[in-house]
Structure 1
């Protein structure tokens, strides 16, 4: 599709962006590029939001997202700004997406190349499993191609608008994507081996959901990964710093250490923000890049409550319990991304979603920051690790009791040991982050890391879109459409910026507005 040009705004249009997560950074960058007077306010001392970093034993570790996918999102952004992504980020693709282990019975590598992956699955689980994988790959590709334009790139869709955007020619594909089926059930049609069903069922956790309740449309993640998973030179946090630098270069003002107390509402619309120290900042539009649940909970003032609906506790996505540590390891041959599976996946998610407790038999994800692809030499000495297990998003109820936390920690590292990985941990070189910590970092969430849980076919249509219910207040971030994850949050920032530009342009007299013909009204500009 041709690039959809944006209207250029005169400097009198002031936009405040709240939150320097990926969505807010992209919105600020695009708005500033198109002439808006942008002020980005961030409570932390540096950009990133959930793409944060922590210091452990004098070394920086990514403490949020660890993979870079869908690079076309950032390529398209840079193209529209007259930039080249490779001039600003050092990206290296992985040939092995992740290394997987079950109870010490060796390990299985999932390759990015489909043919190599099918061969490896055949060796691992038999010829039927390899054929099932190829069928699964085709379904994932078809789902992605069906939803990319009319859903991922578009403003908040409804079932009716999605069908309309697909058109008559696209309706057969829309009917084939199994929107009403659950992921776990559909995986059973492709994989008889429970280990493979478990491996690909983990895609649900990429958006904080249970594979037993998530829609089968999440099989599209397979296609996303096959299009490339990259490592970012300097860590994922480097992406946030790069976007922040580009936004400043485009003319945006970035202010850190600014705690926004409330959205200022006058005349029935958002007119700016008020900081915790009483400073008022006027604006013609406000983009909120926090979790939308904070608005519905009244954390940004009673006047802003009506901007979005509150998210009930039972509808929250998963949280996490993480260990960032610097330690020596031995035994299991780690790659950058590693997954050590629970022996009982159903019990794990029963604990998480129904009993709302830390799992008695957790699956453990380990990101080895100093490791690379298959064949790369291992690091010498202590290495940087992020170990993560899923947790219920009940951080607003208070900290996890010490005995429960200690028990989960023991089970977590016992599983690693059973799979052959020895980690020589020291308390002084370990930093633990629990749901209550995530709730403190991201208020209104209970520690939920992905907004509303993607459970059931309706969930994808209930995330708020870029225009909130409160005129003048716009939304970006992983809790909004099109969903969680770094590239999705970036898309939400672009959608929010596009809506702001359109609305401000239309609010001015026709003689003063510049509004070029759009190639696809309501759609995302593409390469």
Structure 2
């Protein structure tokens, strides 16, 4: 039964103070989705966010006639969005124009060779055979079969389940251990492919959710099957169009989104959150609190006053966090029609570069890049005759020693030269709009611990039960959603986290009955 079926839509609209109040900290995709589901169930919902528009990591920068998605650009698992809209009494296709990307990515290796990555098995086998005619196709078939097996357990059976019980966790992990969950993504890929290019090509996916392919649990091999089965998509207008749609679901069912306001503290009494205090000094009472903030920020700052048993400052500080990101958003006064929507531009090193980023935390002299060109398919994101781009480079988080105040522009120029040498000739003469984001922006603007772009790194012992729980271990009526909690980062992950929270939160009638008996 969907939440829309549990509570008729007509009963969810309005600001009746008798309705139990849910305060949601953060208007990212996870926070908005949780708010939309709870509003549809009958909660009075208030979402609070410090930015001037919803989105969080999925914010949109608008300048000089260009639209730049700030963060996520790759949409997979479209049925999760369709289900969200349905549960909120709406129809997804009426609000969002989602279109498939074919191929998914164009991949450029450092020697100048290209690979078109798609979900078409015949086309993929032909591409693989070009690189390794002897063993490539057999390796591809074996890997995709293993990816399917992992997907059917790790995603279909576990991604939308809370890992709060040790008994459930032990049973689930036993099944995953049988699938080799103790291995890394790269080690699984290397068992199937001999050619280094193919090992790189089929192991890079964890980087899209903050993981090092050499240490991320092999559960994330499921991404290959997920994409192959359901495709890679783009929301016309940009990923922020999805955000606007989810924000509309919140408001449709009577929820309120307060922007430009920062939660300073979660107020508590005993083992219960009683509300929040804003930086302005305003206090707001709540029956439940949902945090879409980075869990390290939730526990280390918003609950700094609370004696914590599990998520202590020491434990937070000892965690392994995802890499940082350097993102350059730029618009050009010409079009580059030979550049695909999504391009991966690999550098000369793979493991060595990842060691620099994740372990040595050095800002290396080389890089691998993800280039996003939405104007390839969407004229609304750039002026006529122009192109809208962003290029993303994984870098060390702020546990490293990079001085971004002095190095950001130098690094941007190096990326510009690399793009000119590879895919965007004469780029420097055609830039008409530019802005950058560094790990400092992730720390200061998005309140991400250590400026990490994806919160905790998705390693085996930082996944599932070992990740911050969706229902807080510290407070009975505090819930967590978003990239830092189970099941992890990426749009499918944060949507699933919101759905888990919506399933854990008590029915509104529980609070009404309690008030009646008080």
Alignment of 1:484-495 (within 5 A): 484-495=489-500
Is 2:237 the counterpart of 1:234?
A: yes
Match of 1:253 in 2: 256
- Please say if residues 480 and 492 of structure 1, whose CA atoms lie closer than 8 Å, have aligned partners that are also in contact: yes
Shift of 1:413: 3.2
Match of 2:298 in 1: 295
Q: Matched residues in 2 for 1:270 and 1:396: separation? A: 35
Is 2:22 the counterpart of 1:20?
A: no
Match of 2:434 among 420, 424, 430: 430
Shift of 1:419: 2.7
User: What TM-score do you get using the length of structure 2 for normalisation?
Assistant: 0.89
Is 2:368 the counterpart of 1:354?
A: no
Measured against aligned partners, the alpha-carbon deviations of 1:220-239 in whole angstroms (never above 9, x if no partner) come to 01011111111101110011
Q: Matched residues in 2 for 1:257 and 1:440: separation? A: 14
Measured against aligned partners, the alpha-carbon deviations of 1:339-377 in whole angstroms (never above 9, x if no partner) come to 11011111211111122122322101100121149xxxx
Alignment of 1:62-141 (within 5 A): 62-141=69-148
May I ask how many residue pairs the two structures share in their alignment?
A: 501
Measured against aligned partners, the alpha-carbon deviations of 1:96-123 in whole angstroms (never above 9, x if no partner) come to 0100112352311012212221122113
- Distance 1:380-1:296 versus aligned 2 partners, 3 A rule: same
Match of 1:286 in 2: 289
Alignment of 1:122-161 (within 5 A): 122-156=129-163, 160-161=167-168
Shift of 1:427: 7.1
Match of 1:55 in 2: 62
Could you tell me which runs of 5 or more consecutive residues in structure 2 were left unpaired when the two chains were aligned.
none
Q: Matched residues in 2 for 1:147 and 1:78: separation? A: 24
Is 2:214 the counterpart of 1:209?
A: no
Shift of 1:258: 1.4
Match of 1:320 in 2: 325
- Please say if residues 60 and 240 of structure 2, whose CA atoms lie closer than 8 Å, have aligned partners that are also in contact: yes
- Distance 1:244-1:392 versus aligned 2 partners, 3 A rule: same
Mean Cα deviation higher: 101-110 or 415-424: 415-424
- Distance 1:159-1:335 versus aligned 2 partners, 3 A rule: farther
Is 2:191 the counterpart of 1:189?
A: yes
Measured against aligned partners, the alpha-carbon deviations of 1:78-106 in whole angstroms (never above 9, x if no partner) come to 23333321111101112201001123523
Q: Matched residues in 2 for 1:213 and 1:418: separation? A: 32
- Please say if residues 100 and 339 of structure 1, whose CA atoms lie closer than 8 Å, have aligned partners that are also in contact: yes
Q: Matched residues in 1 for 2:137 and 2:308: separation? A: 51
- Distance 1:276-1:117 versus aligned 2 partners, 3 A rule: same
Shift of 1:216: 1.6
Match of 1:474 in 2: 479
Mean Cα deviation higher: 412-421 or 71-80: 412-421
Match of 1:345 among 346, 350, 358: 350
- Please say if residues 150 and 165 of structure 1, whose CA atoms lie closer than 8 Å, have aligned partners that are also in contact: no
Q: Give the superposed CA RMSD.
A: 2.9
Is 2:45 the counterpart of 1:38?
A: yes
Q: Matched residues in 2 for 1:420 and 1:322: separation? A: 17
Is 2:382 the counterpart of 1:382?
A: no
Mean Cα deviation higher: 454-463 or 290-299: 454-463
Mean Cα deviation higher: 298-307 or 246-255: 298-307
Match of 1:392 among 385, 391, 396: 396
- Distance 1:93-1:330 versus aligned 2 partners, 3 A rule: closer
Alignment of 1:357-368 (within 5 A): 357-368=362-373
Shift of 1:191: 1.2
Shift of 1:305: 5.7
Q: Matched residues in 1 for 2:510 and 2:24: separation? A: 20
Mean Cα deviation higher: 336-345 or 154-163: 154-163
Find the residue that maps to 2:204 and give its secondary structure: helix
- Distance 1:163-1:354 versus aligned 2 partners, 3 A rule: closer
- Please say if residues 395 and 436 of structure 1, whose CA atoms lie closer than 8 Å, have aligned partners that are also in contact: no
Measured against aligned partners, the alpha-carbon deviations of 1:128-165 in whole angstroms (never above 9, x if no partner) come to 21221111111111101012243201012567414546
Q: Matched residues in 2 for 1:432 and 1:275: separation? A: 29
Mean Cα deviation higher: 417-426 or 275-284: 417-426
Find the residue that maps to 1:39 and give its secondary structure: strand
- Distance 1:18-1:457 versus aligned 2 partners, 3 A rule: closer
- Distance 1:96-1:32 versus aligned 2 partners, 3 A rule: same
Q: Matched residues in 2 for 1:277 and 1:379: separation? A: 39
Find the residue that maps to 1:178 and give its secondary structure: coil
Match of 1:447 in 2: 451
Q: Matched residues in 1 for 2:513 and 2:177: separation? A: 44
Match of 2:488 in 1: 483
Match of 1:218 in 2: 220
Mean Cα deviation higher: 37-46 or 123-132: 123-132
Mean Cα deviation higher: 173-182 or 56-65: 173-182
Shift of 1:243: 0.6
